C-alpha cells in the first residue's frame, strides 16, 4: 500500500526539492503550507510564499492544503519569545517553533489529512533505534539542523521523513535547477521563525517598551547608555557605540553580562575573562528516547551552545533540583542564557536543555 506523506511546503527551494525526492520514491505526496504570522507590515512574505508553494505544486502535480496556525504560534511560541526578552535573556524561537508548530499542531493536522508520515525540508536524519525514533545530524555539516530539532519527541521523529538528510545544499540547488523548479534560485529564508527578516529592534519595540540604562564596566565605571537590555546578547560587539575613552586602550568593547535588577549592560574591552566560562546550568531538559542512565555519575558526550558550533566535549550531571550541570573540557565563549545546549554522541542527537546560568 502506498503511504501518504504530508510535506510541509514553505515555498522555498528545500521543501520543493523534498517533494521531488518523495515523489521519486513513490510516496503519495500531499503538501501543507502553513500561515503562522498574519501582521501585514511590509516585511512578512507569507502571501508570496503561498503563491510560490502553489506554483511548485502545480508544477509537480501534487495537492496543496493550507492551514492557519497563527493563534497557536502566538500562544505557544511568540509569547515565550517575548517573555524571555523581558527577563533579559536571548531566546531561540526556532526550537519551540519546531516542537510546538511543525511537529505539534502541524503533525496533528497532517493526520486529519490522512497522512501516514510527516515530511519537512530539514537537513537532518532519523531512524528507529531500540524501538524509538532517533535524530541524527544531517550529512552536510554546514546545513545540519539537528540543533533546532532536539526538542522534537521520539514519537514524532518515528513518523517523520527527512528527504534532504543525506544531501548537501549545493546538490539540492542542482536538483532544483535540473528539474526546472520555479523556485530554484529563490534566496534562503532567514530571520525569526515564520516572521522573517525585518529590522529587529524596531520589531521588538512594538511589543516590548525600550528601557534605556547605563553601560558599565565590571568595575562599575559608566561608559555609555544602552537602548534596552533586550537588544543585546553576550559577546556582542556591534552597535555599542562606545567612543574612545581617555585612559583606556584602543580595544573593542563587548557585552559580557546583564544586571537586570539595575537595568545595566555590563561591557568590557578585549577578550575579557567574563566572556568565557567552562560550565553552565540548564533546565527543562528534553531527551529523545530514554533518559541516559549515566547522568547520575556523569554522562560523557559532546554539546553545542549555538547553531553550527563544533562539538564541544563535556560531562553532564543531574542536579538535586532536576536541572543539568554541564562541565566543558575547554572554556566556551559568550554562552547566552535563554539559548539551548544540545547534546550529541557522535552524529546521534541525544536531546537538549535551556541554558539558565553560566559557571
Which residues are known catalytic residues?
97, 193
165: its cell numbers? 538528510
19: its cell numbers? 517533494
Contacts of the segment 265-268: beta carbons below 8 A, 24+ positions apart: 265/213, 265/214, 265/215, 265/216, 265/226, 265/229, 265/232, 266/215, 266/216, 266/217, 266/218, 267/215, 267/216, 267/217, 267/223, 267/224, 267/240, 267/242, 268/217, 268/218
CA angle 115, 119, 121 (to 5 degrees): 155
CB contact at 8 A, 56 and 181: yes
C-alpha pair distances (Å), 14 with each of 254, 290, 324 = 36, 31, 35
Helices 169-178, 13-24: axis angle to 10 degrees equals 70
Which ranges constitute the DSSP H helices of 179-312?
200-205
Spell out a b/e string for 211-235, using b for 16 or more CB atoms within 10 Å of the CB, else e.
eebbbbbeeeeebeebbbbbbbbbe
CB contact at 8 A, 328 and 312: yes
Task: Using CA atoms of 349, 351, 356, 358 in order, give the dihedral in degrees to the nearest 10.
Answer: -30
DSSP 273: G
Amino acid at each position: 500500500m502506498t503511504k501518504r506523506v504530508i510535506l510541509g511546503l514553505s515555498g522555498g527551494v528545500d521543501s520543493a526539492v523534498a517533494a521531488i525526492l518523495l515523489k521519486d520514491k513513490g510516496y503519495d505526496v500531499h503538501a501543507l503550507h502553513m500561515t503562522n504570522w498574519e501582521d501585514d507590515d511590509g516585511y512578512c512574505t507569507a502571501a508570496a510564499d503561498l503563491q510560490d508553494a502553489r506554483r511548485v505544486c502545480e508544477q509537480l502535480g501534487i495537492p496543496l492544503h493550507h492551514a492557519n496556525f497563527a493563534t497557536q504560534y502566538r500562544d505557544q511560541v511568540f509569547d515565550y519569545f517575548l517573555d524571555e526578552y523581558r527577563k533579559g535573556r536571548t531566546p531561540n524561537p526556532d526550537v519551540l517553533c519546531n516542537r510546538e508548530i511543525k511537529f505539534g499542531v502541524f503533525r496533528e493536522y497532517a493526520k486529519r489529512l490522512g497522512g501516514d508520515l510527516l515530511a519537512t525540508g530539514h537537513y537532518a536524519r532519523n531512524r528507529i533505534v531500540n524501538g524509538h525514533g532517533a535524530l541524527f545530524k544531517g550529512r552536510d555539516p554546514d546545513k545540519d539542523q539537528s540543533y533546532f530539532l532536539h526538542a522534537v519527541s521520539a514519537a514524532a521523529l518515528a513518523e517523520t521523513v527527512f528527504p534532504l538528510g543525506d544531501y548537501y545544499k549545493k546538490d539540492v540547488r542542482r536538483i532544483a535547477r535540473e528539474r526546472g523548479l520555479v523556485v530554484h534560485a529563490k534566496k534562503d529564508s532567514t530571520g525569526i521563525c515564520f516572521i522573517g527578516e525585518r529590522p529587529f529592534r524596531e520589531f521588538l519595540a512594538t511589543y516590548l517598551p525600550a528601557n534605556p540604562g547605563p553601560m558599565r564596566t565590571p568595575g562599575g565605571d559608566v561608559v555609555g547608555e544602552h537602548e534596552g537590555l533586550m537588544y543585546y546578547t553576550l559577546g556582542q560587539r556591534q552597535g555599542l557605540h562606545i567612543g574612545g575613552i581617555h585612559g583606556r586602550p584602543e580595544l573593542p568593547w563587548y557585552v559580557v553580562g546583564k544586571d537586570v535588577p539595575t537595568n545595566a549592560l555590563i561591557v568590557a574591552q578585549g577578550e575579557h575573562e567574563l566572556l568565557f566560562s567552562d560550565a553552565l546550568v540548564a533546565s527543562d531538559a528534553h531527551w529523545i528516547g530514554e533518559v541516559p542512565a549515566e547522568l547520575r555519575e556523569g554522562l560523557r558526550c559532546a554539546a553545542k551552545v549555538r547553531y553550527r558550533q563544533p562539538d564541544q566535549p563535556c560531562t553532564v550531571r543531574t542536579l538535586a533540583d532536576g536541572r543539568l550541570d554541564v562541565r566543558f573540557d575547554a572554556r566556551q565563549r559568550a554562552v547566552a542564557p535563554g539559548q539551548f545546549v544540545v547534546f550529541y554522541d557522535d552524529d546521534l542527537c541525544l536531546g537538549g536543555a535551556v541554558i539558565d546560568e553560566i559557571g
